[in-house]
Amino acid sequence: MSGNTNTKVKICGNTNVEDAIMAVEAGADAVGVINVANTRRYIDLEDAKKICEALPIFVSKVVVVTLDNMPVEVVHDKIKSIEELGADCIQLHGEEPVELAADLRKSMKSGIRIIKKVAVGGDKEKCLERALAYENVVDAILLDTAAAAGGTGEIGGTGKEHDWNISKEIVEHVKKPVILAGGLNPENVAKAIELVKPYAVDVSSGVESEVRKKDAVKVKEFIEAAKPANR
């Protein structure tokens, strides 16, 4: 579903309050933190809560997790903790099955929304099928570059683009908002938006001065490129 008249921007992989506030002041609509162990931008839920509490009320706070291969009781305990820290959205960034996403939708008591990552790579039809499978049980689909076989084990933030033509087709067929991620930066985001017409764009490594540290100039340039009206 295209929402390109006013593309939203999510700055993800924040590890401290200062970077998160800087992103909001530059015009970000959403701020993301990553609560996935053994990834380069991991922060614990206590630090995530500090970031959520520091942000303005009209900015979306997104917590990125992977919940596949976890016992059901552990999954529900984690979701409860995320709900309590003040997040607006939970982003499922693993290989969570459709059934798990549907179960979370039924069990969550708060109004927290669910974003589901779909990896883009390989066969176009299979990517579209994966996205369509989730659209009735989540609030938005996020398209990220598929991890390479034998890679680093990172769930995102690789700085690598995928075939935007596949993402374009998914946007045209999926009724829920679609967020474009994967290898975006201040230099290519306008071109990506023009082609794909996503509801929102998501960036992490593309606006860093180093891993875990955002670059204020890059953040500003990214948002200005994604939102020409802000210039």
If we measure between CA atoms, which residue out of 206, 196, 194 comes closest to residue 23?
206
Residue 116 to residue 94: CA distance in whole angstroms: 9
Give the residue numbers marked as catalytic: 12, 144
* The token pair that represents 16 in the structure block: 């401290």
Residue 83 Cα to chain centre, angstroms: 17
Contact 201, 184 (CB under 8 A): yes
Residue 131 to residue 144: CA distance in whole angstroms: 12
Diameter over CA atoms, the chain:
48
